[in-house]
Amino acid sequence: MPKHVVIDPVTRIEGHLRAEVQVDDSGKVTDAVSSGTAWRGLELVMRDRDPRDAWAYIQRICGVCTTAHALGAVRAVEDALGITIPKNANYIRNIMAATLTVQDHIVHFYHLHALDWVSPLEAVNADPVATANLQTAVLNNAKTALANVHGCPDASVTEAFPHTFPKATPQYYAEVKGKIEAIVKSGQLGIFAANWWDHPDYKLLPPEVHLMAVAHYLEMLDKQRDLVTPHIIFGGKNPHPHYVVGGMACSISLEDGNAPVNTARLDIVDKAINLGRTLVNNYYIPDLLAIGAAYVKAGRVDGGGLAKTRVLSYGAYPVEPYAGTTSGKFFDNLLIRSNGVVEDFGKGVANAKFTEISGEDMQNPEVFQEGVEHSWYEYEGKDKDLNPWAGQTKPKYTGPKVGTATEWKELNESGKYSWLKTPKWHGKLCEVGPLAKYIIIYTKAQKGLLGTPTWAEQMMLDQIAAVSKALNLAPEVWMPTMVGRTAARGLDCQLAAEINKFFFDKLITNIKSGDTKVANMEKWEPSSWPKECKGVGLYEAPRGALSHYIVIKNGKTDNYQCVVPTTWNACPRDDEAGHGAYEQAMMETHVAIPDKPLEIVKVIRSFDPCMACATHMYNAKGEQIRVVTTDPYTGTRVDE
C-alpha cells in the first residue's frame, strides 16, 4: 500500500525545510514535495535603506554562509554605481570566499552529512588494528588516485611540511572506540542520537570505515574553527564579517604593528590557508573516496535528479578587479569560467548542450525570472513570472491541504505549498551547486568551448579524470548522482583550498610592490550617484549560484531581491517547467524502508541545504513517529 511520508525539518542546521514523498510498495517514490517553511522578510527590511548598508543587513539571511550574501550585496551595489574596487580588495574578497568554501564543505561533509553514511553503532564492532591499517591504506590510495591533480602553480612555500595528518595507530582507534562504546552503552547518544542506525545502508561499509570516519568527525569539531581566521583578520569577525562598498574596511601596513592587517596577521591567514589544504588532502578527499567507492560498487548511483537535465552556474573568482557585472566584465575575468547552463548531461556529454550566461543576459528580464505559482506569495497586478529587479515580496499564505495553519499533515501540491519562489532560466528550472560547476567545465572542455583552461579549470578536469578512473565509470554516469553530488563538493573544497593560496600569494606580491590600497571611495557620497540605477551581484557560493538584485532611487534602496542557491534547488514545482532539483532527486531515489527514509534525507543533504536542527517524522496516517530536538539548552528529547 502506498505510504505518505513526511520529513520536517530535514537537515541538521536551520530546520526550515519540509519534504513529503509518496512511496509505493516497491520503494519507488511516485511524488515528492519540497517546502521551504520559513518566510524571508529581509528584502522588505532593505526598502528605503541606504544601499551602502545592504551587505550588513542582507548577510543576516543566514548564520552559516554569511559572507556569501555580504559579497553578493556589495557586488550588486558596486555594479549599480559603476565602482571598480582595488586589487587588494579583490584578492581579499576572493580569499574570504575561498575560506568560506573550504570550511563550509568540511563542516557539511563531517558534521551535517557524515552520519547519513556512517554509524557509531557500527564503529563499536571495528578492530582498532585493522582501522589503523585501513587509515594508512585510504590515505595512500587517495594520494595515488589524485597523483596527477596539481593545484596552485608556483605556490609560495611557507611551511616545511604539512602539520596535520590523520592518526593511524591502534592505540588511538582503541581509545576512540572506547569512548564510543561508553556512549552507546549509556543509552545517552548525545550528538549521535535519533537516527535510523538499524537501516541497511549502514551495512554497506565495513565497521573499520565507520570507526575511522567517526574519529574524523570528532577531530573536525575542533579543526574547522581555525579555518575561518582569515575572516577575522580581513573582516573583523565571523560570522558576519565586515565589507564596505568600494572594497574592504581593513587597512594594510607592513610597518605598523597595530594595523588591522600587518605581517603578523598575514602569517595567521597563511597558516589557516595551509591548514585547509592539509585537511582536505589528508582527511576529506581520502574519506570521500573510500565511502563513495563503496556506494558505487553497491550500485547506488541514483538521486541525480535535475543534474541530468539542466545545471546552472555563474562562474567564480574574478582574477583582477572588473568594471561591473551587467557590463559583462565580471564574466570576462573569471578564474573558473563556468558561467552558463548545460542541458541533457545525463544523455552523455556528446548530446549535452552548453549555453553561455553573459552580461546581456543579466540585463534581459526574459532570461531570469521567479514564479510564485506554488509559493505562498502573490504578484500584485501581475499574472506572470517577474525578473528579480521587478520582483515583489507579498506573502499569501493559504495553509496545508490537510491539517491546520500551524499543524500540517499534508501540503497542497496542486496549490501553494512553499515559502520559496521558483527561479527560472528562460522559463526552465536548473540545479546549482559544485556539481553544476564541474559538469559545466567538463562539458565545455569536451566540446572544445573552454579554450586554454586556466590552472583552476585544468585542476577540475584532472580531478574528474582521477575520480572516473578510481570508480571505473564515465563522468556522465557517476557525476549526476547523489554520490557524485557529494563527491563534487569534496573536489570543490580541494580546489578552493588551492585558490585560497593562489590569491594569498597575489595579495602578498601586490603589497610588496608598495600598493596597500583596499578601498575606492570615489563614489561613496550619494551626491555622486545617478538618481536611478540598478545592479546585480553574482557569486558562486558553496551551495551554488547566488545573485543579488538591487534597484536604487534617489539614494535609497527601492527594491532588493535575492535568488539564492537553495531557492534554485529546493523550489516548488512549476506546472509547465516541472519539478525543482530536490523534488526531482527524491523521485529518482529508491527507499528501502518508507518509515525510515534515510535515502531521502541523504539525497537532500547531498545538496547541502542551508536548513535544520530537529526532525519530526510522520507515517502515512499522519501519526507522529519521532521528534528530535537538538537545542543544547533544552536537552535532547526523543519521543517514540
Q: Compute the mean pLDDT over every residue in the chain, rounded to the nearest whole number.
A: 91
Residue type at 632 in one-letter notation: P
Q: What's residue 136's pLDDT?
A: 96
Instruction: List, in sequence order, every beta strand (DSSP E) within 9-164.
Output: 17-23, 29-36
On the question of a cis peptide bond just before residue 239, with omega within 30 degrees of 0, the verdict is yes
Of the pLDDT bands very low, low, confident and very high (cuts 50, 70, 90), residue 381 is confident
**pLDDT tens digits for range 7-37:** 888 876 666 899 999 999 999 999 999 999 8
Cβ distance 290 to 196 under 8 Å? Answer: no
Which segments of 254-346 does DSSP mark as H helices, in order?
263-279, 285-297
CA distance 599 to 319: 40
Cβ distance 434 to 492 under 8 Å? Answer: yes
Buried b (16+ CB within 10 A) or exposed e, 84-100: bbbbbbbbbbbbbbbbb
On the question of a cis peptide bond just before residue 9, with omega within 30 degrees of 0, the verdict is yes
- Region of 84 (left: φ > 0; alpha: ψ -120 to 50; beta: rest) is beta
**pLDDT tens digits for range 322-371:** 999 999 999 999 999 999 999 999 999 999 999 999 999 999 999 999 99
The grid cell for 192 is 549521535
Per-domain residue ranges for the chain? 3-365+427-639
**Does residue 620 have a pLDDT over 50?**
no
Q: Which residues neighbour 512 within 8 Å (Cβ) at sequence distance 6 or greater?
A: none
**Cα 136-137-139 angle, rounded to 5 deg:** 65
Q: What's residue 1's pLDDT?
A: 74
Q: Is 422 exposed, middle or buried (0-12, 13-18, 19+ CB in 10 A)?
A: buried
Count how many residues are written for the chain.
640
CATH code matching the domain that covers 3-365+427-639, chosen among 3.30.1300.10, 1.10.645.10, 1.20.1440.60, 1.10.3720.10: 1.10.645.10
Of the pLDDT bands very low, low, confident and very high (cuts 50, 70, 90), residue 188 is confident
Buried b (16+ CB within 10 A) or exposed e, 31-64: bbbbbbbeebebbeebeeebbbebbbbbbebbeb
Q: What's residue 15's pLDDT?
A: 65
- Is the pTM here over 0.85, yes or no? yes
Strand partners, 562: 548
Grid-cell match 563531517, residue found:
110
CA distance 129 to 72: 49
Q: What's residue 42's pLDDT?
A: 83
**Does residue 39 have a pLDDT over 80?**
no
For 319, 540, 601, the CA distances from 421, given in Å and listed in that order, are 33, 20, 22
For 284, 376, 407, 442, 583, the CA distances from 577, given in Å and listed in that order, are 37, 18, 30, 26, 13
**Does residue 622 have a pLDDT over 60?**
no
Q: What's residue 340's pLDDT?
A: 98
**Does residue 210 have a pLDDT over 90?**
yes
The better pLDDT of the pair 622, 198 is held by 198
* pLDDT (average), residues 578-591: 96
Of the pLDDT bands very low, low, confident and very high (cuts 50, 70, 90), residue 62 is confident
β-pairing verdict for 334-336 and 316-318: antiparallel
Of the pLDDT bands very low, low, confident and very high (cuts 50, 70, 90), residue 627 is very low
The better pLDDT of the pair 418, 625 is held by 418
**pLDDT tens digits for range 545-575:** 999 999 999 999 999 999 999 999 999 999 9
The closest alpha carbon to 201, from 193, 209, 191, belongs to: 209
Instruction: State the Cα torsion 388-390-394-398 to the nearest 10°.
Output: -60
Q: What's residue 12's pLDDT?
A: 67
**Does residue 631 have a pLDDT over 50?**
no
Cβ distance 303 to 585 under 8 Å? Answer: yes
The closest alpha carbon to 212, from 176, 183, 179, belongs to: 176
Q: What's residue 442's pLDDT?
A: 98
**pLDDT tens digits for range 66-117:** 799 999 999 999 999 999 999 999 999 999 999 999 999 999 999 989 999 9
CA distance 307 to 277: 28
Of the pLDDT bands very low, low, confident and very high (cuts 50, 70, 90), residue 625 is very low
